[in-house]
């Protein structure tokens, strides 16, 4: 529509005027930030983005597919139970000021458990755990301070469920977080006193937006995904390990893979090729827009009228058939919320939910800035497992356990930030 086109042109013009250019130039896949500029221009851009976001929401809310992924009625428990495998358990958390309730569904059981831990205690623990996990230190020295909060979080969130016997014989957890739990790397929770008994050592973990959305995703994924693989690494100079990462993908999948590096990894190339791919892999920078999450983006190479920034609102407009989208970038799993300094309540407005809406069955993304070389190694292992016939959750768990077995990457910083969302 004309109004949408006018707003997009306005935003594009203002962004070009304000863009400082360049990248972080470090070995971390981190944000490319807007540089200093005139206050009036910044305010104009913010107003244009807000108007565009409001228009998009108005459009999306009128579409049934959007409503199914964002809101939707509560799924009948019997439908959830029919869709769960015998080794799967679905856990949906509900956090309040005074307590947290875990709704647990298996193929033959439905239960609600009061975990007796409230919002403020969880907020403190999650914030402390994340703050320490994302600052890796050399091996040796004092006992890692992140172990205590990870053990306490396991005791608070997992142990009461295990104590009921509901997880006996289960190998896969489908976890629907709530509030601050969206920012918790569940795979890194520590059981007992052993130094390496992480949750991922016992279970493979998949994040789900909610039980209702998961049910619709599982019901939707009935057609086999195409065999093709598209891997993009636009920043060969500033993220050199990203080239090795996508090259390894090409080697693993052979003629099924299309690997685009540098200038070839452009936004137009992505738009042309991605709809027919079974796997789409981004090895690049991810940028969180704290003021308007609809304008968070994954960075590709600009070409022609495309600015190279694949933004959340643009992803909502795609039609994909992929079984898997991998966002091997910085903090791509985050929507809004306390830990990213954005007003809460809009966690669906993130790249993960956008790609699920666009048709992806699963999205692998990150919770914090990721070290370049370790990411390339973990991704190669992940795709080796996937190519051997494992499911996405099995492949991620195997890759994370492999990282744990290597002293150089055993610290959760290197592997726990990767989260799988979807079916």
73 within some domain:
no
Q: Do 107 and 43 reside in the same domain of the chain?
A: no
Asked if the structure places residue 403 within a domain, the reply is: yes
Q: Is the residue at 399 inside a domain?
A: yes
Asked if 276 and 399 sit in the same domain, the reply is yes
Look at residues 154, 183, 217 and tell me which one is the last residue of a structural domain: 217
With respect to residue 71, please indicate whether it lies within any of the assigned structural domains. Answer: no
What single string gives the DSSP state of each residue in 190-245?
B-SS-TT-BHHHH-EEEE-S-HHHHHHHHHHTTSPPPS-EEEEE--TTT-HHHHHH
In this structure, is residue 192 part of a structural domain?
Answer: yes
Question: What's the pLDDT score for residue 276?
Answer: 95
399 with 327, same domain: the answer is yes
Question: How many domains would you assign to the chain?
Answer: 3
What crossing angle do the helices spanning 372-387 and 392-405 adopt, rounded to 10°?
130
Q: What is the pLDDT of residues 76-104, one digit of tens each?
A: 889 999 999 999 999 999 999 999 999 99
Picking from 361, 385, 416, 386, the residue whose alpha carbon sits closest to that of residue 208 is 361
Give how far Cα 49 sits from Cα of 39, 213, 296, 349, Å: 15, 28, 11, 14
% of the chain exceeding 90 in pLDDT: 52
Q: In Å, what is the CA distance from 339 to each residue of 185, 214, 290, 331, 336? A: 13, 24, 11, 11, 8
Q: What is the pLDDT of residue 344?
A: 46
Q: Is residue 66 part of a domain?
A: no
From residue 423, how far is each of 10, 169, 215 by CA, in Å? 38, 20, 8
Question: 217, 236, 261: which is the final residue of a domain?
Answer: 217
Same domain? For 124 and 163 the reply is yes
Kindly report, residue by residue over 300-320, the tens digit of the pLDDT: 999 988 889 999 888 988 999
CATH of the domain at 310: 3.40.50.1460
Per-residue DSSP letter, 180: G
The answer to the question of residue 343 being in a domain is yes
Asked if 292 and 360 sit in the same domain, the reply is: yes
Question: Within this chain, do residues 54 and 192 fall inside the same structural domain, yes or no?
Answer: no
pLDDT on residue 316: 84
Which of the listed residues 202, 217, 232 is the one where a domain comes to its end?
217
* Residue 74 within a domain: no
**Per-residue confidence (pLDDT) for residue 330, from 0 to 100:** 59
Domain holding 53, by residue range, is 2-61
Q: What is the pLDDT of residues 107-116, one digit of tens each?
A: 999 999 999 9
| Across 41-51, average pLDDT | 69
Residues 50, 93 within the same domain: no
DSSP 301: B
Domain co-membership, 227 together with 315: yes
Q: Are residues 229 and 343 in the same domain?
A: yes
User: Full-prediction pTM beyond 0.85?
Assistant: no
Which of the four pLDDT bands, split at 50, 70 and 90, describes residue 154?
very high
Q: Is the pLDDT of residue 333 over 90?
A: no
* Whether residues 52 and 145 fall in one domain: no
Judge if 413 and 286 occupy the same domain.
yes
Q: Which of 6-10, 61-65, 81-85 has the highest mean pLDDT?
A: 81-85
Question: Are the beta carbons of 95 and 180 closer than 8 angstroms?
Answer: yes
Residues 290 and 310 in one domain: yes
Nearest to 95 by CA among 181, 208, 213: 181
């Amino acid at each position: 529509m004309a109004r949408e086109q006018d707003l997009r042109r306005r935003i594009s013009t203002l962004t070009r005027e304000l863009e400082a250019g360049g990248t972080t130039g470090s070995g971390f896949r981190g944000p490319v930030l807007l540089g200093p500029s005139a206050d009036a221009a910044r305010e104009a851009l913010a107003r244009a983005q807000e108007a565009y976001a409001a228009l998009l929401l108005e459009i999306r809310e009128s579409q049934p597919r959007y409503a199914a992924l964002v809101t939707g009625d509560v799924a009948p428990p019997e439908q959830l139970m029919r869709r769960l495998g015998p080794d799967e358990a679905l856990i949906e958390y509900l956090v309040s000021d005074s307590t947290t309730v875990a709704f647990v569904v298996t193929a033959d059981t439905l239960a609600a458990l009061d975990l007796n831990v409230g919002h403020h205690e969880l907020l403190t623990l999650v914030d402390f755990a994340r703050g320490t996990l994302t600052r890796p230190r050399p091996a040796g020295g004092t006992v890692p301070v992140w172990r205590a909060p990870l053990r306490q979080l396991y005791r608070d969130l997992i142990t009461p469920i295990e104590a009921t016997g509901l997880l006996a014989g289960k190998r896969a957890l489908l976890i629907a977080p709530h509030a601050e739990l969206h920012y918790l790397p569940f795979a890194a929770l520590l059981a007992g006193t052993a130094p390496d008994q992480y949750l991922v050592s016992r279970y493979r973990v998949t994040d789900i937006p909610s039980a209702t959305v998961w049910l619709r995703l599982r019901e939707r994924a009935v057609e086999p995904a195409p065999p093709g693989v598209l891997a993009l690494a636009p920043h060969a100079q500033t993220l050199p390990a990203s080239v090795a990462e996508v090259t390894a993908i090409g080697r693993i999948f052979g003629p099924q893979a299309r690997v685009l590096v540098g200038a070839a990894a452009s936004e137009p190339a992505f738009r042309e090729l991605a709809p027919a791919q079974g796997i789409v892999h981004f090895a690049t920078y991810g940028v969180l827009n704290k003021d308007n999450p609809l304008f968070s983006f994954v960075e590709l190479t600009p070409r022609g009228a495309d600015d190279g920034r694949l933004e959340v609102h643009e992803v909502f407009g795609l039609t994909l058939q992929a079984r898997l989208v991998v966002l091997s970038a910085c903090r791509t799993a985050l929507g809004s919320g306390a830990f990213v300094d954005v007003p809460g309540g809009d966690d669906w407005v993130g790249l993960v939910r956008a790609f699920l809406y666009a048709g992806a069955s699963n999205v692998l993304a990150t919770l914090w800035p990721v070290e370049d070389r370790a990411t390339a190694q973990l991704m190669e292992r992940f795709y080796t497992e996937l190519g051997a016939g494992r499911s996405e959750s099995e492949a991620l768990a195997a890759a994370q356990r492999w990282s744990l077995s290597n002293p150089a990457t055993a610290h959760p910083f290197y592997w726990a930030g990767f989260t799988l969302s979807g079916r």
